[in-house]
Structure 1
Amino acid sequence: MNKQPENIEIYHARTHNLKDVSLHIPLHRQVAITGVSGSGKSSLAMGVLYSEGSRRYLEGLSAFARRKIHQAERADVERIDFLPPALALRQRPPVPGRRSTVGTMTELYNLVRLIYSRLGTHRCPRGHQVPPSMKAIFDETCVCPVCGAHFNLPSAESFSFNSAEGACPDCGGLGERAEVDPTLVVPDPELTLEQGAVASWRAAGRGYTVRLAALLGVRLDVPWKKLTDHERDIVLNGPETRRPLIFHNRKTGEEYPITFTYDNAVEAVRKSLAGDRNQTRYARMRKFLSVRPCETCGGLRLRREALQTTVAGKSIAEVTGMSLSRLDQLAAALPEALPVSVREVAGKLSAGLRDGLKPLLDLGVGYLTLDRQGNTLSTGERQRLELSMMAGGRSTGVLYILDEPSVGLHPANVDGLKQLMRKMVANGNSLIVVDHNLDIIRNGDYMIEMGPGAGDRGGTVVARGTPHEIAGEGRTLTGRYLSGSRKVIVRQPQPVSAKDEWLRIAVRSRHNLHHLTAGFPLRRMTAVTGVSGAGKTALVFDCLVPALKKALGRKNPPDFIESLKGFEHIRRVVRVDATPIGRNARSTPATYTGLFDGIRRLFAGTDAARKRHWSSSMFSFNVKGGRCEACEGRGEMLLDMQYLPEQRVRCPHCNGTRYRPETLEVKYKGKSIADVLRMSVDEALRFFTDQPDLADQLETLHDVGLGYLLLGEATPGLSGGEAQRIKLAGELKRRHTDTLYVLDEPSTGLHVHDIEVLLGVLDKLMQLGATIILIDHDPDVIANCDYVLDLGPGGGSKGGRIIAEGTPAQVAASPASLTGKYLPGHGRL
């Protein structure tokens, strides 16, 4: 009998910066891949293992699909043996559409709909309540025990807002309606109609309508705010009217009439949106729309009949509006709340619901509700929902690749993540985890450390073995942090006193914050902490930042702000978050930082370019001229896979260079423009050492630890931490006195060593007079701050309060602080 393979065997992998890597990775184990940013972790995990694992899975499909797959670019690896089919949890899951909710994304709503169709108390056509019975469960029709009326029992589809059977007929199951807002079509009441006061007429390409309005009695030379009510009514609500306008032909001198239809300012928007779905026109007109809850269903998305059915006295809208924690309690009590005859079925359905809820509760998102719209979730929340689906899939023999699953997790919730990953391995799967969290690395069966540096200084395996073995050896960077022989101690915390200048805010009511007062010491680094849903983002980004911007613009604060003090010491507010830079491959570090402008000017100044009379635009891949027109300067093309996701492949015409061959003939110091884009920041720094302006910009990128980035790589693919550091790099050369920097989870995607680099950058800003407020879960970051505000104690309705504040040491000593329990052993604590 053949022995089952025990390892994935990789031979000579050279994808991205991997340097001919050959290694074995244990199957049916939890394996951590770690290393500093840019060391080759993702190249090995995603570029080799996932790329090949998913490709081999797709090869089992039709001959047509296989032909398409063979056109796609393969991982640069000589051979991989014993590789299972692969699924990946990416660091940035896609943002779902308007119809997606937590319930649909986790598929828990399917079970809730089934519970309501089988165990619900329905209403007959005459309004009598019909309680559940074993006969509601098995039959499609029912007889009302009160009046004898026959009626069809609702199915699970009757409770779906994504089906015609269950959706509200007026909003189509969206729960909201977009209507033209008259206040938006005339944004500036100081303008006259001649000056373009009616923005919707201009946006719809109906400039002639102004002349028609004059024929209807509206004055064109009077500001909108001074027009009579009758004139304004004609503009906003006037009836459709046909009127001739006289046009003058400048060449012939002839005059001739053309009859036009007058559409008021509101109707012009409606007609433009009702025409062909031109995306550009739609984007231009949607700014005149206000989204309001649907009046028919009250924003609940469902038909009235569906909302009348109850289970244990609650409608489906009430249940989906509960927090997941509260829903779990309801599910536990459900069988006892129903008639004896259906308790067995109720027990099975409620147990299934609780099984689906458990991983979500373990991951700390129990504050979410099933009716929460998917596009309002944070990146970390979306990732945890995907992870819970993977863990609950009960699959076996799959290679799961998790890219930074600890993103956005409070240390208290890491235990739940570890349990989930162990469950996935126990089901017979193999788990590759790309993460920097030392607790997660220690929890693995095996670890692979890439390095020793980033970019061209990385790409090799510097250590492999159990976490205990590597920590014991203490030879590698990660090993020293695992053993505790090296700690993140970057800055000397600055003292904080009540006598210092403070920024103070009082919030009336915003999300889960109610009558909350918070203070932030100026020219200090403050960490805002707490579990997911505790109110961190609500306080910093939904209250403090908007209030400051209003105050700096000398405007009244938002209604939900009671008071704001100390803002006179702030001159400028800079928000630095982990959102991707740019939308597609056209955005690169070179273009985002402005480096590419100077580089293109250098190429345009060469003798070869001057002889051809080429300007710097000929060296841009974003405009016609020198770029490859087959791929329009992207360097890649989309491969249509029909019912499968599109595949990106290197452009066969320019071989990924983005440019025409003629453009690449022009050289600067022996390098083409494509050669320069393939350089790392550090390589470019050496190459442009004789160009002070370029060298200065490149040096700032090097100083924030991004020397390994390629000038031409797509910025949307950068990690959240890399995106933040690129944004910070541009700030290092500015004046920082009275500047407030607000950072959202700056430790995202960073190795412990990279956190040291980040804290060094932030300390530089502090020394230049800046104030820093950051939201983070990483104990190393928190321990290096001057002040901490810890919110909680839980998430959602259980949060929204400051439960501890003070220096990191004071918070660590607070028995009320959950965050404080994880601070000892970090920084100087």
Structure 2
Amino acid sequence: MKKKEADIRKFIKIRGAREHNLKSLSVDIPRNQLVVMTGLSGSGKSSLAFDTIYAEGQRRYMQSLSSYARMFLGQMDKPDVESIEGLPPAISIDQKSTNRNPRSTVGTVTEIYDYLRLLYARIGIPHCPECGKVIERQTADQMADALMKLPERTKIQLLAPVVRGKKGRHEKVLERARKSGYVRAIVDGSQYDLSEEIELDKNIRHSIDIVVDRLIVKQGIETRLADSIENVLEISDGLLNVDVDGGKETLAFSNSFSCPDCGISIPPIEPRSFSFNNPFGACPTCAGLGYKMEFDEDLMIPDKTLSFNEGCVSCMGWMNSKDPGSYSHALLEALAKKYRFSLDTPYEKLPEKARDIFIHGTGGEAVKVHYKGQRSEGVYEDA
């Protein structure tokens, strides 16, 4: 008896499978291993994998549900097989699927990922990424104490995040803030006066922060600061954003989760916090894809003894930069004129600033490019 139980744990034991073109097949398939089925077309690979093993796994799962649930799911027929032992819950991914989207995984295709995100959001215990301690709720007094530790004369704005990355026009939210006596709001990073008409695209995700108070950190503001924090927490469901020195830094507080030692606050845990397809849960470095595109200066400019005019750049889009009639050459001439370097100087002897500008850009500073093409001539601004 014990030996049979041990075999069931190690193998899926199939006896007398006759589904479709299977001829009373009996086979033991090892569990906890990657098993590949190969054979000629029509030999019964799909009949065994999908129509026998997977179908029986699904049927047994359906039988485990309540009779009320089975009323809505229908009846599944038993595959033509004498017996299957040691069969665990089965998941099937269509062998004909051609979806190459990097955001499509086994978890998303089978929808297991949705259950995992919900599980983590409901029973997860957040910990501080710095010290590892459990993150607990912050009180309004703790938030006020943290803000009073900022350098004296620091200008701060207390913001109530009433909308966080949600689609819609949010007219009622803005109207409610206007009637409550607030005069300013920050919508998608831009500040607006609530007295003006604010029209939002309903198909785009928006973030709205109501400006509750503006203060300068100094002794004597403790009472006003505490009262304003209480107002923010009341209208934003316990969240507080603090704009420091006109946008140089934004501090986030929550009366739900905060580390008292490191002062690190995190937003409430939600299912979307664990979604790599949502900006609130995706890694900011790779945007949830698991990889990022980088460039190698040595591959872009393999021979640094050459100059720009000699064609030192060999990456895509710049192969014709030594051609005087190309736009890339006109852009190089504009950069050389603005930042005072020569296109005839070998790349390795160029000033460090010139090399940095070529690789990383001008930092948003516009450069006027004089370009004469086959059909037109003009001055274009590039950065």
The alignment's TM-score, normalised by the length of structure 1, stands at 0.18
Q: Which has the higher contact order (CA 8 A, sep 6+)?
A: 1
The alignment's TM-score, normalised by the length of structure 2, stands at 0.35
